[in-house]
Amino acid sequence: MTEMPDDESATIPTGPGADENLPPVEPPSAGFIVQLFFVPALIVAAVVAVWALFGQMAADDQDWQSLLVELSNENPHRRWRGAHGLAQMLQVDQTRTEGDGELAHNAQVATQLTDMLREQIANDTGREDDLNHQVFLTRTLGLMDVPGTVIPVLQLAMKPDRDREVRKHAIAAIAIIADRAAQRGQPLDSDGLLDDLIEFSYDPDPLARQLSAFALGLIPDERSKQQLVTLLGNADESTRLNAAIGLARQHSPAGLEVLKAVLTEALQPTAAKTEDDPGVDQQQKLKAAEKIFEKHISLKNTLKAITDLAADLTPEQKAELRALIEPIAESHQEHRIRLDAGTAQRELE
């Protein structure tokens, strides 16, 4: 029997007639090219994407830890670089959908930031850079959602012996945290917080009273409601308005007269513009513009409070408010306010 040569020992026909023994050569099909190049490319791309994703997750995890270290650095440039980066990460975290924002709920970040603020307060030199650092920390803590860790140090930062800017941002941070907690249906319940806010609502500084009234409105409690009713008689206009808005949040119409006063004032003619008046200096122009801006903000917040309160009003109260809001909805110079007035009207109908 003659052995058949294996593949390695097989000879290839050459010479005349050799082509007749070979199969015809056909160009590769498009599908074959796709399988040969495109499919492996997709697989490689997927592998690279997964690697990049986990690499980015690891990098992000390392970033916030590195930034916390930078915040403790004695070099002011490195400290503020870390501060800026961490603030940006927390701000981005607040824009994520529910459950995705992990940094704002990170207990380690909250603990280190609060420890740093405590240290800053204990070693306060009164220098501008140190005060700016305290302001930054209070504002950043307002982005954290770890109330049990964050609130106590903010209470310390808003004491009357602290710098005015530090106090302002500490109370504002508490109000911001309280607002998010209320939206989640989990109102703040921190030891002594209500006592402090009630105490500061009598503060000689009007700004402390205004912010305290605002924060009290975000903590639904019978004591906070009683204090807000008391603040309706405060000499400071903004404190009265914040108290009325806070009562509206707690479904109380007790501040309705204050809200009606804002609507009535909105119907008064606006002072003549001063931008092109050569007899008015730049400082006066800025003050006039600031006053108009504050008036618009007060009106916008009032309309929102009335919208929230609509279901708790009597038919007579609703009719009176509709009469005040109608000209605002029709002819106010600010388009956004006209829209808000229209929304309030619909809620009152």
Task: Decide if pLDDT at 341 tops 70.
Answer: yes
Confidence of residue 245 (pLDDT cuts 50, 70, 90): very high
pLDDT of res. 287: 78
Question: pTM for the whole thing?
Answer: 0.73
pLDDT digits (tens, 9 = 90+) for 8-39: 444 444 444 544 554 554 555 545 444 444 44
- The alpha-carbon radius of gyration of the chain (Å, integer) is 33
Q: pLDDT tens across 152-194, in order?
A: 999 999 999 999 999 999 999 999 999 999 888 888 877 799 9
- What is the rounded average pLDDT for all residues in the chain? 80
pLDDT score at 275:
52
Whose structure tokens read 């009630």? Answer: 198
The pLDDT, as a whole number, for residue 193 is 93
pLDDT at 206 over 70: yes
Is the pLDDT at 299 greater than 60, yes or no?
A: yes
* Dihedral Cα 284, 289, 290, 293, nearest 10 deg: 160
* pLDDT at 183 (0 to 100): 85
Stronger pLDDT, 217 or 94, i.e. the higher one: 217
Mean pLDDT value of segment 79-108? 75
pLDDT of residue 29: 52
Residues 85 and 213: their CA atoms lie apart, in Å, by 32
Higher pLDDT, 101 or 324: 324
Q: CB-based contacts of 268: which residues, under 8 Å, 6+ apart?
A: none
Q: Write down the pLDDT at residue 14.
A: 46
Q: Please name the residues in contact with 321: beta carbons below 8 A apart, sequence gap of 6 or more.
A: 260, 263, 306, 313, 344, 348
Higher pLDDT, 65 or 191: 65
What pLDDT is stored for residue 324 in this prediction?
96
Of the chain, the percentage scoring pLDDT greater than 70 comes to 77
Between 6 and 134, the more confident residue is 134
Q: Is the pLDDT of residue 272 over 80?
A: no
Summarised one tens digit per residue, pLDDT across range 97-155 is 554 457 888 888 889 889 889 988 998 888 888 898 899 899 999 999 999 999 999 99
Does residue 290 register a pLDDT over 70? yes
The pLDDT value recorded for residue 232 is 97
Element (H, E) at 231: helix 222-231
| Cβ contacts of 11 within 8 Å, gap of 6 or more | 5
Cβ atoms 298, 262 nearer than 8 A? yes
| Mean pLDDT within 220-240 | 95
Question: Would you state the pLDDT for residue 72?
Answer: 75
